[in-house]
Amino acid sequence: MLGKMFKSLFGASGEGQTKSASKTAPVEHEGFQIIAEPQSSGGQWQVAGRIEKQDGEETRVHHFIRADVMPGETEAANEMIRKAKMMIDQQGDRIFD
């Protein structure tokens, strides 16, 4: 009974956050792929996603979640893409260190 109560309060993961069900097309920037993956959080959308780059046969991935929240999923996805482009411009391949 307590388990059901906690699941209803915090979601099945126990963290109160769920990933977006929508699929945003990856955005290419300077040879990197930017994939926006906003997360639902308390009725708003948290800026989250990943940056990928193909390195030979290996795909290098950098995941990130920001504290920023937006009222809509699209706004959170757009903000993630903006921040990811800035991060790529500033750090390049050092993102993966």
Q: Let me know if residue 3 belongs to a domain.
A: no
Could you report the per-residue pLDDT of 15-44, keeping only the tens digit for each? 444 554 456 799 999 999 999 999 999 999
Question: pLDDT over 90 for what percent of the chain?
Answer: 75
Q: Let me know if residue 42 belongs to a domain.
A: yes
User: Whole domain around residue 20: which residue ranges?
Assistant: 16-96
What is the CB neighbour count within 10 angstroms for residue 60?
A: 14
Compute the distance between CA of residue 11 and CA of residue 4 in angstroms, rounded to an integer: 10
Q: What is the pTM of this model?
A: 0.76
Q: Let me know if residue 77 belongs to a domain.
A: yes
Per-residue burial over 26-42, b if 16 or more Cβ lie within 10 Å, else e, is bbebeebbbbbbbbbbe
Q: Let me know if residue 76 belongs to a domain.
A: yes
Task: Please give the distance of CA 8 from its chain centroid, rounded to a whole number.
Answer: 24
Number of domains in the chain: 1
Return the CATH number at 41: 3.30.160.350
